[in-house]
Chains A and B, each alone.
Chain A
C-alpha cells in the first residue's frame, strides 16, 4: 500500500500536533530548569563567597581586636606613662627597659611590623632598636598621628600604606594608633603606633576566595582602596571597580549582591576597622563548563524527544490503523462490491462505526436484492402486457366476421372460424406458460391463418413448410403469428394480385431458423432501414415508431429478453417483390430449458 506522509492524514496531524506540543513543553522545561540550575549554581557560589567573606571579616576583626588589646596593654603600662610624663626624670634605663619590652611584643608576634610611641615633646620610643628615625619624615604630619589625636582615645585604623618613619625601611602596613593621656591630669602625652604587616591581611584576602578568577578587595569607609590585588591597574585606570554602586548598596542595605553584567559584587562591613570587604566573582567562572551541562541537557532532550516521538507514532498509528482498515473496506464500494467489516480491533468508537457500517451494507445488499427482484417482476409483467396487446384488434375483427357469417347463415364457416378462434386463444393462453412446442405454435399460426383466409377470401394463399425434426423443440409462444399478421397487413393487403405467404422452419446447428416471406408490396431501402431501426433500437432512441413495426418489435424484444442478445429477428425486403423476416431461436427442448 502506498501512502505519502502528507499533512492531510489523521496520523500525521496527530503526530505533528503531539510533536509540537512535546517539543515546546520539553523546550520550556529545559529552559526553566537550565535557568534554575544556573541560578542555583550561581547562588551557591555567591553564598559560598558570602560565607567566606563573613569569615574574612571575622578574622580581620579578631585580628584588629587582638591588636587593640595589645594597645590597651601598652597604654596602661605605668612605666610608659611615667616616662612620657617626665622623660628626663625617668632616665635612659627606663627608656631601654620600655624599648626592650616593645621589641619583645614585636618578636612575640610575627605579624607586627613595628611599635612606636611618639611623645608630644618629640621623644620617640621604638620597638626596633638599632634603627634610626627617618630625618625626612615629620611625625606630627603623619596621618596616623593626626587621626589618633582626632580620635580622642579611640583607636584609629589607617588604610594600607608604606610606613617611612624609620630610615631606610619602607614596609607595607596597616596602622593602629591611639592617643595616650596622662593618668594624672588627662593631658595628651603622645601617640601609640602599632604597625601591622599588611601582608597578613593580604594573605587573608587572597586565600578566602572560591572561583578561578574571584578576588576580594577592601575599601575604607571613604571608599579608598585598602587592598586590591591589582591596585596598580586600578590606580592607572586600566581597571576600575564600581565603588559608588557598592557603597550605595552597603548604605541602603537593600541588596546583597551588585551585578555589573560581568561580575558579581558581594560586600560585607567590618565593624572594628570601618572597612568594606568586597568579593568579586566573575560570571564566566560560574558558568565554566556549562557547555557540558548544556550538552547533557540537549542529550536528555533528544532522548526524551525520540522516545516520546516513537511512542506518539505508535499511539497515532494505533488510533488510525483501524480507521484506515475501515476506510479500505469502505473503498471497495467504489468498485461495486459490498464487503462487511466484521470484527475489527480498535477503540469503542471504531468498533461502533464498523458495526453501523455493516448494518448499512447489509441493508444496502437487501435493497439491491429487492431491486433485482422487482426488475424481474416488472420485466415479466411487461411481457404479459406485450402479449396482451395482440388480442383486442384481432378479436373484435374476427367476432365481426363471425357475426356477419352468422347473419349470412353460413353455419359451417361460423363453426370453422369459431373453432379456429378457440384454438388460437387456447394456445395463446396455454396455461400461462411462455414457452410452448413448435407443434403448438404451428397450430396457433395455422388457426390464425384459417381465420384470416376466411376473412380475406382468395386474397392470399399460404404454405407452411416446417421441418418435422423441430416439432418437439420449444418456442416462445406467439412468435410467428405477429409476423404473419405483418405480412398480411403491410405486404399482401397493399397489392392487387393474389398474395402468397410462405412459412418455413428448420434447424441450423444449435439454432432454429424460421422464415416468413410474402410477395407483397415490399419496402424500399429507406423503409427497410426505418423498420430495422424501429425494431432493434433501444426504447429511449426510438422516436418514430411505425404502427407496422409494433407487433414485430414485440416479438424481437421478447426473444431477446428470453434467450439473449444473439437471437431475434432480421429483415430483407425489395420494393414490389416482397419481404422476408427471419427468426433465429436457440434449439432447445422442454428439458434443456429447465
Chain B
C-alpha cells in the first residue's frame, strides 16, 4: 500500500512535470491546422492565359496554402460560361465531403441548390469573387463590385464633363452574375444625373462586344462606354481602335489584361478599374484556415479595387498588380 502510494505520487509528479512542460512550450507552437483532405477550390475558369485573372487568384491561393501549411485542390470548368459543368464539378466535390469548399460561382442563382446540398452535409463554403443567392456561405471574399462600379462611374463622369456627346452606354458581360449586377448598379449610382443610353450584354464574348460597340458608334448621342469586364473592355477597345475613334469615345473598362493595358497606354481606354486577384486568392485561403481553426471571420472581405490610368500605370506599387510576375517567363 505504501509503495503504491509512492508510485502514485511519482506518477502524479511526472504528470505535473509533463503538463507544465507542455504549457510552457505549447505557446511556442502556434496553432497549426492539420487536415487529412485538401480544401477544394472551384473557380470559374481554368483554361485562361498564364497570368490572367484566375491564374493570379491561383498564385494567391498557393501562397496562402503554403503559409498555412494546408493542401488545396483547384478545379473548375474550362470556360466561365460553362455553368452546368461547374455545377457538376461542385456536386462531385460535395459528394467527397472535403473539409471546406471555396467557390467562385459562375451563376448567382443556379448554384444555390448545390450550396444547400453542401450545407446539409456540413461542409462549410466560402464564396470567392462571385457570390450565390444564399446566406449559407460563411464568408464572401471579393472585390466590392458596387464600389468598383462607383469608381468607374465617377471617372466616366469626370471625363465626360465638357464633352458634347453626353450619353453613356454600359456593356456588361453577362446577365444574372453578381459581379455584373453590382458593377452596373455602382456605375449607375455614380452616374446619377447623367444620361444612360442602356445596358448591352456581350455574353462574355469579345466579338459580341465588338459588334455592340460598332453599333453604338453610329449613335451620335453616345460619348462614353463603360465596359464591365475584361472581355467586354477588349471588344469595345478593339472596335474603337479599328475605327480610329478614340478621341470621340471615352472608354472606361474593368480588369487589366495585357492587351487592355496597351490600349490604356495608347489612350484607347481612358481608365480601368482593377481588382486584386492575388489578394482575393490569398485571403480566401487565409479565411478558410482561420475558419477551420475556429477563429472569428468576417462575413464579407473586400479585397479592394484600384483605378488605373495612363498616368499611374507604371507606378512601382501597381506594377505587380498590372503585370503579374510570371516565374515561367
Contacts and interface: CB of A to CB of B under 8 A. Distances in A.
Nearest to A235: B317
A235 B320 contact: yes
B258 interface: yes
Interface stretch (A224-232, A456-464, A519-527, A540-548): A224-232
Contacts of A26: 17
B329 A236 contact: no
Nearest to A27: B17
Contacts of A283: 28, 30
B282 interface: yes
B263 to A, nearest CB: 11
Contacts of A213: 66-67, 69
B304 A23 contact: no
B316 A27 contact: no
Given A136-B266, A161-B316, A23 B28 contact: no
B325 A5 contact: no
B279 A305 contact: no
A199 B51 CA distance: 15
Nearest to A30: B21
Interface string B235-258: 000000000000000000000001
A301 B14 contact: yes
Q: Is the interface of B mostly helix, strand, loop or mixed?
A: helix
B14 A19 contact: no
A164 B319 CA distance: 11
A313 B316 contact: no
Contacts of B266: 136
Contacts of A419: none
Contacts of B326: 199
A34 B21 contact: yes
Interface string A220-260: 00001000011111011010000000000000000000000
A242 B13 CA distance: 44
B144 to A, nearest CB: 14
B148 interface: no
Contacts of B21: 30, 34, 294, 297-298, 301
A313 B14 contact: no
B261 interface: yes
B30 A284 contact: yes
Nearest to B317: A235
> By CB atoms of chain A within 10 A, which of B11, B18, B22, B60 has the most?
B18
Interface string A8-46: 000000010001000100110011001000100000000
A231 B320 CA distance: 7
Given A203-B327, A313-B3, A302 B17 contact: yes
A202 interface: yes
B189 interface: no
A3 B3 CA distance: 12
Contacts of B279: 232-233, 236, 238
A310 B283 CA distance: 56
Contacts of B60: 232
Interface stretch (A165-173, A500-508, A528-536): A165-173
A563 interface: no
B262 interface: yes
A231 B278 CA distance: 10
Contact of B63 (A230, A284, A310): A230
Contact of B319 (A3, A161, A262): A161
B173 interface: no
B316 A298 contact: no
Interface in B1-43: 1-3, 5-7, 9-11, 13-14, 17-18, 20-22, 24-25, 28-30, 32
> In the complex, which range does the number of interface residues on chain A fall in?
35 or more
A235 B329 contact: no
A229 B64 CA distance: 11
B28 A238 contact: no
Contact of B5 (A5, A199, A236, A262): A5
A592 interface: no
Interface in A48-104: none
Contacts of B258: 170
B9 A19 contact: yes
A172 B323 contact: yes
A390 B283 CA distance: 129
Given A162-B319, A164-B265, A291 B29 contact: yes
Contact of A15 (B6, B22, B24, B310): B6
A232 B319 contact: no
A301 B18 contact: yes
A212 interface: yes
Interface string B59-98: 0100100110100000000000000000000000000000
B112 interface: no
Interface string B294-329: 000000000110000010001011111111011101
A198 interface: yes
B188 interface: no
A171 B10 contact: no
A34 B304 contact: no
B53 to A, nearest CB: 13
B150 interface: no
Interface in B85-141: none
Interface in A129-169: 134, 136, 159, 161-162, 164, 168
A364 interface: no
B10 A19 contact: yes
B183 interface: no
A197 interface: yes
A287 interface: yes
A290 interface: yes
Interface string A113-141: 00000000000000000000010100000
Contact of A309 (B6, B25, B67, B261): B6
A5 B327 contact: no
Given A229-B63, A231-B320, A3 B10 contact: no
A306 interface: yes
Contact of A136 (B265, B316, B318): B265
A475 B21 CA distance: 93
Interface string A193-222: 000011100110010000011000000000
B316 A159 contact: yes
Interface string A285-309: 0011011001001100110011001
Contacts of B44: none
A290 B28 contact: yes
Contacts of B270: none
12 contacts: A38-B28, A161-B319, A171-B329, A202-B325, A230-B282, A232-B60, A232-B279, A232-B320, A236-B276, A294-B25, A309-B7, A309-B10
Interface of B: 1-3, 5-7, 9-11, 13-14, 17-18, 20-22, 24-25, 28-30, 32, 60, 63, 66-67, 69, 258, 261-262, 265-266, 276, 278-279, 282-283, 303-304, 310, 314, 316-323, 325-327, 329
Interface of A: 3, 5, 15, 19, 23, 26-27, 30-31, 34, 38, 134, 136, 159, 161-162, 164, 168, 170-172, 197-199, 202-203, 206, 212-213, 224, 229-233, 235-236, 238, 262, 283-284, 287-288, 290-291, 294, 297-298, 301-302, 305-306, 309-310, 313
Given A203-B327, A213-B67, A238-B283, 8 more contacts: A23-B17, A136-B266, A161-B316, A161-B319, A172-B323, A232-B321, A235-B318, A288-B29
Q: Which 9 A-B pairs have the closest CB atoms?
A: A298-B18, A309-B10, A302-B14, A232-B278, A284-B30, A162-B323, A231-B320, A235-B317, A162-B319
